[in-house]
Amino acid sequence: MPTIAIVAGEASGDLLGSHLIRALKKRRPDLDFIGIAGPKMLAEGAKTLFPMERLSVRGYVEVIRHLPGLLKMRRQLLQHFLQNPPDIFIGIDAPDFNFSLERSLKNNGITTIHYVSPSIWAWRKSRLRKIKHAVSHMLALFPFEPAIYERAKIPVTYVGHPLADMLPLQPDINAARENLKLANSALVIAMLPGSRQSEVRQLADLYVKTAGLILAEQPDVKFLVPLVTRETRAIFEQAIYDNQAYDLPIQILFGHAHLAMEAADAVIVASGTATLEAALIKRPMVITYRMPALSWQLLKRMNYLPYVGLPNVLAGRFVVPELLQHDATPEKLAEAALRLISNKTLMADIRAEFTRIHETLRQNTDEKAADAILGYLR
């Protein structure tokens, strides 16, 4: 049975991996998948050698703290794949972890495919040399990325983004609100503080205080907060308790991030994949992020672009506001959100730009990625 080794490092990679496995198995039911997988990939039949949660570490300081365990896990993975060589290795995102693994495997004659280009267009362009030694083929999600790899003579395929295929061009806000038992006339703001515990710890208090300020200006507002685990829910509930904000009209959802965004008039969201999801659901948003001070200083020095949110990167301009680190205050977030929802012309312009981005990214991604991968199996 042909074997594909596959390693994903977080929730977004797990989603990409699950779609990819499904598309590959539709064409080749005999394929076996093993590596590091999350719940969605496991549901598609992948086997995992380690819990994916162990790879879900973000920020330089956090990585350093977990480095011994990460290095040990990578050595064990490499040993397993050298003793049991797969036909292909696919690294899904998690570049700092996967590129070193891919380089060792490629040096031992194993084809390595990396799914999701790292943000070399934003920072660390020096990575291209490392990528060339590590990767047999790059699968790029965004249309401006292939030219970068072609100039470096790295085989690349633009596959678009699977979320653009999965989400409808026209979201149904009325159906979403009916599902959540919200009035069509209500003012609804979705607040997404991230999927990792570290992200929610950084943003929960900020979001609770921001909600209080918005409520003071908009007494009929409702807040939706989708959280993916019991641990992240507990962190957010603790922030409500710490701020004695029991009366805030906050509805915490267990998952259902897409539904929450679809039901919302606007979104306050942590920088990351969720910003792209919000754009594809055509929701005006305020992008925010906080991280430990040392991680922020290191990241800031390497940043090449004036924006970090994917919707702004894809548009090539500031379509929606970004409030990061020291600018991420309750007062500034509340002001930005209230400015968005009060300006109907701006809201319409944002939705039009997000529709254009959606059409560009809708490429039948799973099939294109499967084609590129299966070409190495024949």
Between vectors from CA 36 to CA 33 and to CA 37, what angle results, nearest 5°?
Answer: 75
Q: Is 369 in the same domain as 314? A: no
- Counted domains in the chain: 2
**Structure tokens belonging to residue 72:** 């040990």
Residues 6+ positions from 161 with CB-CB distance below 8 Å:
141, 142, 276, 361, 363, 365
What pLDDT is attached to residue 60? 42
Q: Is 144 in the same domain as 270? A: no
Between vectors from CA 191 to CA 189 and to CA 194, what angle results, nearest 5°?
Answer: 160
Q: Is 186 in the same domain as 145? A: no
Q: Is 137 in the same domain as 190? A: no
Confirm whether 165 is domain-assigned.
Answer: no
Q: Is 321 in the same domain as 184? A: yes
Q: Is 224 in the same domain as 131? A: no
Confirm whether 168 is domain-assigned.
Answer: no
For residues 225 and 193, the answer to whether their CB atoms sit within 8 Å is: yes
Confirm whether 166 is domain-assigned.
Answer: no
**Structure tokens belonging to residue 308:** 């970090």
**Structure tokens belonging to residue 370:** 């499967």
Q: Is 143 in the same domain as 182? A: no
What pLDDT is attached to residue 94? 86
What pLDDT is attached to residue 61? 43
Q: Is 145 in the same domain as 127? A: yes
Low-confidence ranges of the chain (pLDDT < 70): 56-67, 121-125, 291-305, 378
Q: Is 368 in the same domain as 317? A: no
Confirm whether 167 is domain-assigned.
Answer: no
What pLDDT is attached to residue 107? 97
What pLDDT is attached to residue 303? 58
What domain range is 177 assigned to? 173-361
Q: What is the pTM of this model?
A: 0.81
Q: Is 123 in the same domain as 227? A: no
Q: Is 193 in the same domain as 152? A: no
CATH no. for residue 123?
3.40.50.2000
Q: Is 349 in the same domain as 370? A: no
Which runs of consecutive H residues, i.e. helices, occur in the chain? 11-27, 39-43, 60-83, 95-107, 127-134, 146-151, 162-166, 173-179, 197-217, 230-242, 257-263, 273-280, 293-302, 310-315, 330-342, 344-361, 365-374
What pLDDT is attached to residue 59? 47
Strands 47-48 and 32-36, bridge-based pairing = parallel
What pLDDT is attached to residue 9? 84
